[in-house]
Amino acid sequence: MRSYLKYIIPVLIPLLILLMPLSAFPFEGTTVLQQRVIAIFLLAALCWVLEPIPIYATSVVIIVLELLMLSDKGLIFFRLDQGEAHFGELLKYNEIMATFASPIIMLFLGGFFLAMAATKYRLDVNLARVLLKPFGRDPKYVMLGLMLITAIFSMFMSNTATTAMMLSILTPVIAVFGPKDPGRIAFALCIPVAANIGGIGTPIGTPPNAIALKYLVGENYISFGEWMAFGVPFVVVMMALAWFLINHLYGAEQKTIDLDIKGKFLKTPKAILVYITFGLTILLWLMGSSHGMNSYTVALIPVAVFSLTGIINKEDLKKISWDVLWLVSGGIALGLALDKTGLARSVVHSIPFDEYSPYVVLFGAAFLCLLMANFMSHTATANLLMPIMAALGASMTTLAPLGGEVTLILVVTFAASLGMSLPISTPPNALAHATGNVQSHQMARVGVVLGVVGVAMSFVLVWVLHSVGHIG
């Protein structure tokens, strides 16, 4: 029976919401469209948590339901009461469809092209080989090198792809440790931890960052370089803490280790073009808008170059993580509905947040996000919380001295990426757990400490940067 509940509950509860009278909702002046958005939101939340269907499929369902039930070109049955005061204003159908081609999606697409080209021409493995040389043979310093390289790669590549690549390099190395040597745990655990933390460093490092950018517009706009200005220092500090913690808990008994990664940089014309395009794209991102282009426009340069030259062909296109792009677009569509119908503002205004300390609100929101991110997809967590956090940040006057909306969004975004206490928390964690070298309780000991400390540290960092005028 329990196996059927995960299919029944996500459908039954939204249907009950749709059948309720408008007077039953606690928000003043609730409209028919807002009622439908509540039903869609609950459907999305339950599907993302219970996963009766793939999480990317949930995002597609969200967009289709919004087109059918909320748009000006939806089913006529859902527009019969249009024009009445309690109905609300219909959304434009093309705005909902545009979430499939949002600038955020284009930014991620550019990141995927870069990552795919780097892997295809072995740029990632060869960089790992070169960058690891200075770290010698002491296990704790070799681990530090592996963590730094993993973090750097995960800033520009999928965290999952980075983890898979680094674990494949490590497989023969871990085998060198004795069966009871804690070094096996340390080396298997350091890779997913570094990948999860490293993704925070750039806007394309992980989907929650891209979702946050959707709400950091206008006066709150943060460029690629500005994000890295606070993201990279945060990553460096968290990496140092993670390295110390893993060494303290699971220090290797073996005194020396040999890390032999074979390979050399390719020198073919296409490989050289990949190196140049990769470096140029990152440079343009770091330069912000000083060249007149934003990060979304820059992201399409490698897409054009690699497509034009055949570096990425039609077979490679099939390997792109389209499910991630769909997942993010569904979150953007959900945020659009919450915003355009006024539901997010109604929810925020119905709770007297101004009566609470801004510190309570900040830490409460961040730790709620951290808790959710440990049990469900980081992207799904960000999709659900970010629209509400954006509306909350804009409405709370007491948050202004602490950075207002920007601080709240960034702290919650960081919290989404720091949920890594369980094998189910992130794909990198699942890959590391699948090696058989690290158990759930060992992962939790490190993940809980890093999550709690990271949330507190993110608030301090963002507040300091706001105080000196770098953001917000």
* Range with lowest mean pLDDT among 123-132, 216-225, 447-456: 123-132
**Least confident residue range of 113-122, 226-235, 362-371, 420-429:** 420-429
Q: Which token pair is 102?
A: 């949002």
What proportions of the chain, in percent to the nearest 5, are helix, strand and coil? 75, 0, 25
Picking from 324, 328, 319, 397, the residue whose alpha carbon sits closest to that of residue 361 is: 397
80, 95, 57, 160 alpha-carbon torsion, rounded to 10°? -160
Q: Which residue has the higher pLDDT, 401 or 291?
A: 291
Q: What's the N-to-C CA distance of the chain in angstroms?
A: 51
What's the pTM value of the predicted model, to 2 decimals?
0.71
Tens digit of pLDDT for each residue in 271-318? 999 999 988 887 887 676 677 887 788 889 999 999 999 999 989 998
pLDDT in tens, 8-23: 888 899 999 988 888 8
pLDDT of 403 reads: 60
Min mean pLDDT across 31-40, 105-114, 321-330, 346-355 is at 346-355
* Residue type at position 216: L
Q: pLDDT for 423-452, tens place per residue?
A: 767 778 877 887 778 888 888 899 999 999
**59, 120, 165, 181 from 168: Cα distances, Å:** 32, 16, 5, 20
pLDDT for res 313 = 92
- How many whole angstroms separate alpha carbon 326 and alpha carbon 313? 21
d(CA 155, CA 235): 10
- Assign 398 a pLDDT band (cuts: 50, 70, 90): low
Q: Phi and psi dihedrals of 261, rounded to 5?
A: -105, 115
Contact criterion met (CB below 8 Å) for 121 and 273: no
Q: Which two tokens stand for residue 374?
A: 């440990």
Q: How confident is the model at residue 1 (pLDDT cuts 50, 70, 90)?
A: low
Q: What is the mean pLDDT of residues 138-153?
A: 87
Q: Give pLDDT, residue 176.
A: 74
Cα–Cα distance, 36 to 230 (Å, whole number):
39
Q: Whole-angstrom Cα distance, residue 195 to residue 154?
A: 5
Q: Which helix (H) or strand (E) holds 359?
A: helix 358-375
What b/e readout covers 433-463, taking b as 16+ CB neighbours within 10 angstroms?
bebebbeeebbbbbbeebbebbbebbbebbb
**What is residue 450's predicted lDDT score, i.e. its pLDDT?**
94
Asked if residue 135 has pLDDT above 60, the reply is yes
Instruction: Encode pLDDT of 352-389 as tens digits.
Output: 766 777 778 888 888 888 888 887 678 778 887 888 88
- The percentage of the chain sitting over the pLDDT mark of 70, rounded to a whole number, equals 91
Burial of 338 (0-12, 13-18, 19+ CB in 10 A): buried
State residue 380's pLDDT score. Answer: 77
Which pLDDT does position 401 carry in this prediction?
64
Q: Per-residue pLDDT tens for 63-95? A: 999 999 999 898 988 887 776 768 888 999 999
Answer for the pair 411, 464: CB distance below 8 angstroms, yes or no. no
CB atoms < 10 A from the CB of 69, how many? 22
Q: Using alpha carbons only, how large is the chain's radius of gyration in Å?
A: 23
Instruction: Give the pLDDT confidence score for residue 311 in this predicted structure.
Output: 93
Confidence bin at 259 (pLDDT 50/70/90)? low
Q: What is the pLDDT of residue 301?
A: 92
Mean pLDDT computed over every residue of the chain: 83
Cα separation, 216 vs 226, in Å, equals: 12
Give the up-direction half-sphere exposure of residue 80: CA atoms within 13 A in the CB hemisphere.
2
- At residue 237, the pLDDT reads 93
